[in-house]
Amino acid sequence: GWKLKQAREASFSKDAQLQAIFYAMRDAVIATSPDRKIQYVNPAVEAIFGYSPSELIGQSAAVFYTRIEDYEKNGSRYNINAKGDSEPYEMSYRRKDGSTFTGEARGAAVRDPGGKVRGFMVTVRDITQRKELRDRLFLEKEKWFVTLGSIGDAVIVTDLGTRVEYLNSIAESLTGWTLDEAIGKPVKEVFDILNEKTRMPVECPVEKSLLSGTIVGLANHTVLRCRSGKEYAIEDSAAPIRSRNGKVIGCVVVFRDVTQKRNLLLQVTHQANHDALTNLPNRYLFQDRLVQMFIQARRLSQAVALIYLDIDHFKKINDSAGHPFGDLVLKEAGRRIRSVVRESDTVARLGGDEFAIVAIGDLASPDHAAHLAQKILDVMAQPFPVEDLELRLTASMGVAIFPDDGDDATTLIRNADIALYQAKEKGRNNIQFFSPIMNLTLQERTALENHLHEALERKEFELLYQPVVDLKKGSIVGVEALVRWHHPKRGLVPPDKFIPLAEDNGLILPLGEWVLETACLQARKWGELGFPALRVAVNVSTRQLTRGDFPGLVERCLKATGLAPDCLELELTESVLLQKSAKVGDAMSALRILGVRISIDDFGTGYSSLGYLTRFHVNTLKIDGTFVQGIKTHPGNTAVIKAILALGHAMSMDIIAEGVETLDQVRFLKNQRCHLLQGYLLSQPVTAQEIPGILANDFLTPPGILSGL
């Protein structure tokens, strides 16, 4: 009896516990009969479904379902599991008020000791909020995956141990790894990066970011090596992933392919620092390298040699053959210079036909610099085969040595330029090393140029006239106007000293206008004295012909002085007429309409293209004095003179031989039917006041001049 009592108490206690649990559960608990009639429910059913227990007892469990087919289908669920229970499943349920919700249900069969099903017990949990949250999280996740898959950047996600957890499609493409292949791999194996220049591995930003807990960027010049071996220039950053409490739990790497951008940047940088024509460093890169060489030279106690180079008379090439032809010459010149220097030396094109060569170390000593400059001079002297022509060019070079000739870039550049100027002054085609005396020479040139600005206003210029003699007539038929400068301190300044200065600074325009007006006026005055009309020749520069309205200036001078147009002869060089310029063509056409004569000075010394002789209706050819003076010493000169005379006679042109100084030269020219002569044998340039006396006296017949002919 005691044991029975004890068993009853234990059973009562267990039932009480179960009942307490039954009533305390927040999930709805529904007990049904085998035919699924509701037998009892716990209080949570009313809270979840809205039905009181009394309303449900005896009803079919179908009252809870939104769709009757779900009720019918779910009836067999409990019999599937041999254990008599079911896995959790979701179902759409209906409340008393008609609203629906998603519930998570779990069912179990109630069996008697014999195993026969006596009913079912089902628990239902309202998971509406959980499902909404889960759906929202799923949607957010999908959005992020779609976003990561569609953005242009590559993304790699790692765990705290730097093992790959995720790659987007761009990362797959750039690394060569698929997501399935990469998951669990060390990020270093998938994200293989190295320095583009050194080819050494680059420190992985993931490790630095995880260690520091901060965003870490890649260094410049980083490339990603794909599994295929292809390389991409990349930019990237790695950022730590933190949990809700701020603890670092992983890392995300975002990177992009910037190969095209970097190539474009390199191209732009190259273009900004290199000459577009020759692909040599330009002035900016040259100056930067020169400064860097100075730093190295000071540290190692070395010398630096700077060579400035100009192609002699390059302007004539552009004027005669055109700028495209000149560009080909410049490209070939740059290639030749580059071919004879070391790889460590710098060859730059500073502009126009000016090049600079910088050498450091042993080859920067004066002896070695001279040897290098001579090598350049020799290679430049070789024929230039350009298109169908073969040119022979020369170069002038100036050399300055650091630190003796300047311990900074500005000084060394200035002194190399001064040395180059001296090389040109000494006849070109030579090398000059800088010396302090050169600086004094440059200062004198600068002072002369400054005074030249005021010389015209101070009336320091004078015109001299050199007669042109006709052997047939035995008299003077014309004069050439030659400008001279009487400097108040320097005395008479030769034209070859101040004319180039006037060309450079633009003073040739007002000076040329003064020469033209003065010569025309003087020719008219001689005519007023009763002498036969003389033809006056005036030299015209390229600047005069192409700047402003030169034909208009000529017309005004003729009208103002009353000189007949055919008494004015304008002397031009071949280089002027060979320019492929519309201005030159228009000016020559206008001058032809005015009726003035055109003469070609120093014919045969330039790059001849005989087409211009007929195109511009040239009247006179002047044989350069160097050909005349070399008649006996240079047999080739006689052939040139004969060719010019044959050409002139065939085209009915006047031909004047310049530089006549001996009777032998006169005899040769006379025998070749050249009757117009000009030179010191006949007369030096004289003043305007001396011309009437020469015209009045038959100066050709006295013994010692032409009496021996």
Distance of CA 696 to the CA centre of its chain: 69
Bigger pLDDT: 405 vs 361: 405
How high is the pLDDT of residue 709?
60
Burial (CB count <10 Å: 0-12, 13-18, 19+), residue 387 = exposed
Residue 356: is it exposed, middle or buried by C-beta count within 10 angstroms (0-12/13-18/19+)? buried
CA-based nearest residue to 663, from 689, 688, 614, 700: 700
Q: Return d(Cα 184, Cα 345) in angstroms, integer.
A: 52
Is 311 exposed, middle or buried (CB count within 10 Å of its CB: 0-12, 13-18, 19+)?
Answer: buried
Q: Please give, one letter per residue, the 3-state secondary structure of 352-366.
A: CCEEEEEEEHHHHCH
| Measured distance CA(214)–CA(211) in Å, rounded | 8
Residue 523 near residue 558 (C-beta atoms within 8 A):
no
Percentages helix, strand, coil for the chain (3-state, rounded to 5) are 45, 25, 30
Q: Name the DSSP class of 85.
A: B
Instruction: Identify the pLDDT of residue 553.
Output: 92
Length of the chain, in residues: 709
pLDDT at 15 over 70: no
pLDDT band of residue 280 (cuts 50, 70, 90) is very high
pLDDT score of 82 more than 50: no
Helical packing angle, 495-505 and 436-455, nearest 10°:
70
Q: Is residue 656 scored above 70 in pLDDT?
A: yes
- Distance, in Å, from the CA atom of 147 to the CA atom of 245, rounded to the nearest integer, reads 26
**Backbone phi, psi, residue 159, to 5°:** -90, -170
* Dihedral angle of Cα 375, 376, 382, 384, to the nearest 10 degrees: 160
Q: What's the mean pLDDT in 623-638?
A: 86
> What's the pLDDT score for residue 701?
47
Q: What's the pLDDT band for 135 if we cut at 50, 70, 90? A: confident
Decide: 587 and 545 in contact? Cβ < 8 Å: yes
Question: pTM for this structure?
Answer: 0.49
pLDDT of 344 higher than 80: yes
Average pLDDT, the chain: 85
Name the residue among 326, 389, 317, 321 with its Cα closest to residue 609. Answer: 321
- Percentage, residues of the chain above pLDDT 70: 87
Q: Is 229 exposed, middle or buried (0-12, 13-18, 19+ CB in 10 A)?
A: exposed
Give, as one character, the DSSP assignment of residue 282: -
Terminal-to-terminal C-alpha distance of the chain: 179
Strands 193-195 and 597-603: unpaired
Percent of the chain with pLDDT over 90: 37
Summarised one tens digit per residue, pLDDT across range 210-227 is: 988 998 888 778 899 999
Residue type, 139: L
Token pair recorded at residue 450: 């400054």
Structure tokens at 178: 């698929």
Confidence of residue 524 (pLDDT cuts 50, 70, 90): very high
